[in-house]
Structure 1
């Protein structure tokens, strides 16, 4: 039986800096084998969220470009390997195997933009983060959804995220 998906947390970030604080707080909760699916329209802030998350992990700050054309970028952050996928241009879900996505799911932290293009290959135990543009240019509504495990791991995430910065 599949895990039930829960709404875990919801935020109204008023700036890119606030969005970054939420991403940095999440980074403290992640480890190898986790899959973070970033959902949102073009310009919703998926890459900015991924950049803040990646740079919050141990290691030297890096330029984190959108992997729109390469489809995947990898980073070493301390003992953690991170695979950042942008699947906007993926023709078929099976093509993700050519990118090494099965290795990423097994051994790395996977951050996936345009996760819907993976279809049924997206692991059911992923954390889904939906970013939506709100009233102001840099304002975002950010919603976290996940299974029972994510619900437990992020049980006090809202408190941590609102005090981080």
Structure 2
């Protein structure tokens, strides 16, 4: 897969944002990294809730702002949800987020990272999802960096879903 392959979707509601996440949760494989960008209230945690639904996670998924990371291991594959909002890059380094996306200290799963600009070291391969508010709801721009397993199939499925109806 070529670098920087993008797809933009219109999401008219919270349900559409969660449906996008649910589709990703059903299709992404262990080792996938989601880089989530957007202002406060843009829908990053709502998207991760959908990923959890797609993975079959029954626990309530909430923002890990104060916990820094939440681990959900009961789904099809584990989900690791980071919120780096309150941290400096040095503090992020102390968390060693790479051990999650590389599967070094925890079973390999999907790693979702909110406020990624605080990362000192980025994964080699990731799916960046930028959520922005628009006059009709929000837009999600998905950009592949490196190689994301099954991206062409995921892109086709997302393009066929009627998130904007």
Summarize deviations over 1:45-100 as a string: whole Å, max 9, x none: 101111111122124x22111100111000013351211000111112x4334324
CA shift at 1:156, angstroms? 0.8
Q: 2:16 aligns with which of 7, 15, 18?
A: 18
Task: Rate the CA distance shift 1:131–1:82 in 2: closer, same or farther, 3 A.
Answer: same
Report the equivalent of 2:5: 6
Report the equivalent of 1:130: 130
- Figure out how many residues of one structure are paired with residues of the other and give that number: 155
Gaps of 5+ in 2: 103-107
TM-score normalized by the length of structure 2: 0.84
Gaps of 5+ in 1: none
Is residue 146 of structure 2 the alignment partner of residue 145 of structure 1? no
Q: CA RMSD, aligned part only? A: 2.0
TM-score normalized by the length of structure 1: 0.84
Q: For residues 42-57 of structure 1, what are the structure 2 equivalents within 5 Å?
A: 42-57=40-55
Q: In structure 1, what is the Cα distance between the partners aligned to 2:127 and 2:156?
A: 15
Q: In structure 2, what is the Cα distance between the partners aligned to 1:80 and 1:97?
A: 25
Task: Rate the CA distance shift 1:147–1:153 in 2: closer, same or farther, 3 A.
Answer: farther
